[in-house]
Structure 1
Amino acid sequence: MRRVEHVMGFPVSLRVDDEGFDETAADRLFAWLGEVDRRFSPFREDSEVRRLDRGGPGSGRISRELAEVLALGERYRAETRGAFDVRLPGRRLDPCAVVKGWSVQKAADLLTAAGARRFCLNAGGDVVVAGGPWRVGVRHPEHAGRLCTVLELTDGAVATSARYERGDHIVDGRTGLPATGLLAVTVVAPTLTEADAVATAAFALGREGIDWAAAREGCEVFAVDADRRVSRTAGFPVAGAGQAVRRASRVPGSAGGAV
């Protein structure tokens, strides 16, 4: 089964290779992502996030799911000493850096609960896979349509934070300024909840974020800094021979996806 829908502001593609898979599970998956967009988007005036941000009567009563998202945001704020923060001074509450990976991982869990054993769920280039091997391409940070590396996963998740789609949109909460020390950072982790948040947090930290992410248990990292130096942890699951890369400008490199 293959299916693609546009939800949460980006394309979400689903491929399930199990024979006899109940496709109503895919309906539930996309319905969940649509619900997340309605409830947690900081751009919808009627969302739960916006109601909380505005304050007023009843705004302190939040759902269990939003409490979970905010707790994750606080965890990474503390662990990065404020570089990652969903409540930047002078800005509206914006938990998107947590919500995307968290919600897509829960969507993948719906598939597993429905009996799917081999699938790929790609949400705007951040990917959860099961029953591989699956190959996932990592976009070159400066050349659209090219890859700087390809990794191979059996089960797990991969997320990339970069400047190539939205410019300098990730802010270092310690300074209030855009984080510019890295061009891109890709994190492989057991869940997309962790991979996505760690990738964003590492980007906000700048160059020090590479070592911070690499030190986290279960995380593997591929990063390109502003000087185009490439760093890769020893366990990063590069497909094929996996020869070391020294400079991004020497590597062919497109938006992440699985094949």
Structure 2
Amino acid sequence: MRRVEHVMGFPVSLRVDDDFADDRTADPVFAWLREVDARFSPFRADSEVSRLDRGELETEDLSPDLVEVLDLCEEYRVASRGAFDVRLPGRGLDPCAMVKGWSVQRAAELLAARGATRFCLNAGGDVVTYGGPWRVGVRHPELADRLCVVLELTDGAVATSARYERGDHILDGRTGRPATGLLSVTVVAPSLTEADATATAAFALGAEGVEWAAAREGCEVFAVDAERRVLRTAGFPVAG
């Protein structure tokens, strides 16, 4: 079973290789992602995030899901010494850097709970896999038609932060300015929640972010810095 939809501002593709899989298998995945977009998008005036940012909600009014997301945001803000921050001065609350990985990981868990044992869920280039192994290509940070690495992944997740799709959209929370020092950073972790947040925080940290991400438990890193040097941890699962 294969299905692609545009959700949360990017294409989401799902492939399930189990014999029983059909469109009904995928329905809860895409329904959940559409729900997340409606509830957590800072670009929707009626979303829970926007209402919180305008002061219309108190802490006790928040859904358990948003409390979880905000707690994760604070965890990564502290761990990155402020480089990862969803509350930048002069800007509204924007937890998208956490919501994407968290929600797609939850979608993968919905699939697994429905009995899927071999699938690949790709959300705008960030990937969760079950079963496998699966081969995942990472785009070259400067050459759109080339890959800089292909990795092999089983029961895990991979996320990349870079400038090539959205320009200088990742800001260093310590300065409020676009992050520099890295062209791209790819993180492999047990869950996409960890992989995506760690990749974003590492990119925001700049050159020091590679060592920071590599020190995170369960994380492996592949990065290209501003000098075009490739940096890779020993356990990064490069495909043979």
> How far is 1:145 from its partner?
1.2
Cα distance per residue 1:202-245 (max 9 Å; x no partner): 000001000000011110000011111110000000011xxxxx
Secondary structure in 2 aligned to 1:83?
coil
Secondary structure in 1 aligned to 2:157?
strand
The corresponding residue for 2:167 is: 167
What amino acid is aligned across from residue 64 of structure 1 in structure 2?
Answer: P
The corresponding residue for 1:119 is: 119
What amino acid is aligned across from residue 172 of structure 1 in structure 2?
Answer: D
The corresponding residue for 2:87 is: 87
Checking the alignment, whether the CA contact within 8 Å between 1:84 and 1:200 is kept in structure 2 is: yes
The corresponding residue for 1:239 is: 239
Identity across the alignment (%): 79
Distance 1:25 1:71 in 2: 31
The corresponding residue for 2:153 is: 153
The corresponding residue for 2:194 is: 194
Cα distance per residue 1:85-121 (max 9 Å; x no partner): 0111110000000000000000000000000000000
Secondary structure in 2 aligned to 1:211?
helix
What amino acid is aligned across from residue 126 of structure 1 in structure 2?
Answer: D
The corresponding residue for 1:3 is: 3
After TM superposition, which residue ranges in structure 1, 4 or more long, deviate above 6 angstroms? none
Secondary structure in 1 aligned to 2:224?
strand
What amino acid is aligned across from residue 235 of structure 2 in structure 1?
Answer: G
Secondary structure in 2 aligned to 1:201?
helix
Secondary structure in 1 aligned to 2:121?
strand
What amino acid is aligned across from residue 184 of structure 2 in structure 1?
Answer: A
The corresponding residue for 2:141 is: 141
Cα distance per residue 1:166-185 (max 9 Å; x no partner): 11111101111110111000
The corresponding residue for 1:28 is: 28
What amino acid is aligned across from residue 96 of structure 1 in structure 2?
Answer: C
> How far is 1:22 from its partner?
5.6
Q: TM-score, normalised by structure 1?
A: 0.91
The corresponding residue for 1:183 is: 183
Distance 2:180 2:202 in 1: 11
What amino acid is aligned across from residue 149 of structure 1 in structure 2?
Answer: V
Checking the alignment, whether the CA contact within 8 Å between 1:21 and 1:115 is kept in structure 2 is: no
The corresponding residue for 2:103 is: 103
The corresponding residue for 1:19 is: 19
Distance 2:125 2:156 in 1: 14
Distance 2:122 2:15 in 1: 9
Secondary structure in 2 aligned to 1:212?
helix
Distance 1:181 1:152 in 2: 27
- Name stretches of at least 5 consecutive residues in structure 1 with no aligned partner: 241-259
Checking the alignment, whether the CA contact within 8 Å between 1:25 and 1:110 is kept in structure 2 is: no
Q: TM-score, normalised by structure 2?
A: 0.98
> How far is 1:59 from its partner?
4.3
> How far is 1:35 from its partner?
0.2
Checking the alignment, whether the CA contact within 8 Å between 1:169 and 1:178 is kept in structure 2 is: yes
- 1:72 equivalent to 2:64? Answer no
Distance 1:134 1:122 in 2: 12
Checking the alignment, whether the CA contact within 8 Å between 1:139 and 1:149 is kept in structure 2 is: yes
| RMSD after superposition | 0.9
- Name stretches of at least 5 consecutive residues in structure 2 with no aligned partner: none
Cα distance per residue 1:112-156 (max 9 Å; x no partner): 000000000000000000111100000000000100010001110
What amino acid is aligned across from residue 140 of structure 1 in structure 2?
Answer: H
Distance 1:168 1:218 in 2: 28
Checking the alignment, whether the CA contact within 8 Å between 1:51 and 1:59 is kept in structure 2 is: no
> How far is 1:20 from its partner?
1.2
Distance 1:34 1:138 in 2: 26
